[in-house]
Chain A
Amino acid sequence: MRKIFVFVERVDGEAHPVSWELLGKARELANNLEESEVWAIVLGKECENVCKEAISRGADKVLYVKNDQLVEYVNYKYKKVLVDIVRKYEPEIFLIGATLEGRELAGMVATELETGLTADCTGLDILPDKKLLAMTRPTFGGNLMATIMCPEHRPQMATVRPGVMRELPPDPNRKGEVIVEEYSIPEMEKFIEILEAVPLSVKSNLAYAPVVVAGGKGVGGPEGFEKLRELANLLGGEIGASRAAVKAGWISDEYQVGQTGKTIHPVLYIACGISGAIQHVVGIKESEIIVAINTDENAPIFDVADIGIVGDLHAVVPAITSKLKAMKGEVRK
């Protein structure tokens, strides 16, 4: 049996959404790769619910390394466990979410195993004739897509950008097996020790919002984002920002969209005062509908927008908000 490993990243008792996206993708890969199965790798304790959900999301087997020392992500311990289980079970493919933790961990694990690792992939496929994993990733700030393979070394490792693959809806009737791995962590030097975890002061739902109203340089300052926030709230969405707005310090980098921020695919993306540099567009081009509002009619954002409005966002955005409010008021009457 060819094993496709998916690392399930946990935040406390819950899996990071990218883990389910990866399971969905792994399921699709397994369907194209004869005699293969999808294994979810769960580290920690009291993760029974996560294991169960992994099966409902597409895993055939869950390898549950149950250990008190693995409750929190500590890079050198996680690396040791993953290296050891890869050596024991010899998977063909190993997928990890390209979160900050995932990228750090994958870089350590792949080096220790001396295998290839393709970072931050946005596409994965099986080449039917060679039974190899084709990993596609943007480079040069999103200007170029490169497809990469790892022909001889195993496992073929990739980190995958959150928000790109589509998760499967959970199916409680799916059958799978949870293997509880007896594993004791050897005595090791204490390389790194967590003293304090500081949660983010703002938490955005950017990657998963159906509507994103985003602002760039044209927003002009932190207060400008209030207008965008009002429209986003009315539409049940979230606000976003270009790198320029984040760099100017107008908004937290939690909201940054694009190559160095988040990749999103909302139903509706409204770009306000965003010029549309390629690094930004690469993060939004999978949106269903892109609307651009900009005073500069030559801004490159209009090349990709489905609907373009040349005008001042400070006037147009509030006008949209009030029109929608008025319409809703009428419906209620």
Chain B
Amino acid sequence: MNVVVLIKQVPDTTNVRIDRKTNNLVREGVPSVINPDCMHALELAAQLKEKHNATVYVITMGPPQAINALKDAISFGLDEAVLLSDRAFAGADTLATTYTLYKGIKKIEEKIGKIDIVLAGRQAADGDTGQVGPGVATRLGYSLAAYVTSIEKIEKDEIILTRRLDRGYEKVRVKIPCVLTVTPELNEPRYASLPNLIRSLRYQPIVWNKDDINADPKKAGFFGSPTRVVNTNIPPARKGGDIISKNESPEIAAQKLLDELKKFESIRLIEGLRVLVGDKK
């Protein structure tokens, strides 16, 4: 069984702050991490290696610094990691990103044979698009199951799994080859064993440029991207009001709140609060 895991290195968005004086994003000193959802894809890959003797490649597209994410990924006990890095890949939107990843997967296929399962996280914490998995599946012509929450069994040519949709869960049979995007519900990422940790520290990922993967520069990066970001801005902060009660008795605080709410015309829209404005209905 051959498996490829797509990962992304992202800034740790929980640490991104806004400097309200300059209205800029403060990214300095914000560490880069493996995108949280991708950790669950790596865990699944590690399990496939253990239980199904899978050969697992990890792949990412990004600048040379993304090597760190790949080294971390190797600590899950996986076989090889590939960095797709080239100036021609920069400025990619999701369409161009899936093109480059697709070409990278095809190159891996040349080395190890047909790829059976491609794994990805549900979405990236910095972009939140959730489109790369579906896009790669479409380019490969593979089956797609997004938002996987549990896996019942994996057989030679199919997987029985459960996935999350808005209306609930859905148990499905998915034909192999396939692309799965996974949710945090699926598993708990492991801590690296000491030998794997040591190996990951010494490990040097494979680096491929546009010629290595035979990518058409017109389809990759900025030039392969149909969308253009024309403007970015920091959303205006909502102006808050005052603290009306500080460490007073709950009864006083509650009374002050109700008195304050009376000043808002819109509370008439709330049936349960009409009593405040003397509406007896």
Chain A residues with a Cβ under 8 A of chain B: 11, 16, 73, 75-76, 79, 99-101, 103-108, 110-112, 114-120, 134, 138-153, 189-200, 210-211, 234-237, 259-260, 267-268, 277-279, 281-282, 285, 288-291, 297, 302-312, 315-316, 318-320, 322-324, 327-328, 331
Contact = CB atoms under 8 A, between A and B. Distances in A.
A328 to B, nearest CB: 5
A192 B255 CA distance: 57
Contacts of A73: 165
Interface stretch (B64-72, B189-197, B226-234): B226-234
Contact of A148 (B11, B160, B169, B228): B228
B131 A267 contact: no
Interface in B32-90: none
A285 B238 contact: yes
Interface of B: 11, 13-14, 16, 18, 25, 93-95, 98, 125-135, 137-139, 142-147, 160, 162, 164-175, 178, 225-235, 237-248, 250-251, 253-258, 260-261, 264, 266-267, 269-273, 275-276, 280
A76 B253 CA distance: 56
Contacts of B125: 141
Nearest to A235: B272
A8 B127 CA distance: 25
Contacts of A282: 235
Contacts of A200: 167-169
29 contacts: A16-B166, A100-B165, A103-B129, A105-B134, A106-B134, A107-B129, A107-B130, A108-B144, A111-B98, A116-B95, A119-B127, A143-B234, A146-B231, A150-B228, A191-B143, A192-B145, A198-B162, A211-B270, A234-B272, A235-B270, A267-B270, A278-B16, A297-B246, A306-B264, A309-B257, A319-B254, A322-B254, A327-B275, A328-B275
Contacts of B276: 327
Contact of B264 (A76, A142, A289): A289
A11 B167 CA distance: 8
B127 A139 contact: yes
Contacts of A195: 160, 171-173
A143 B235 CA distance: 7
Give the one of B134, B143, B246 with max A CB within 10 A: B134
A228 to B, nearest CB: 14
Contacts of B258: 320, 323-324, 327
A332 to B, nearest CB: 9
A219 B247 CA distance: 17
Contacts of A304: 237-240
Contact of A331 (B14, B241, B280): B280
B103 to A, nearest CB: 14
Contacts of B266: 267, 288-289
Give the one of B244, B256, B273, B276 with max A CB within 10 A: B273
Contacts of B98: 111
A119 to B, nearest CB: 4
4 tightest A-B CB contacts, nearest first: A107-B134, A116-B226, A235-B272, A319-B250
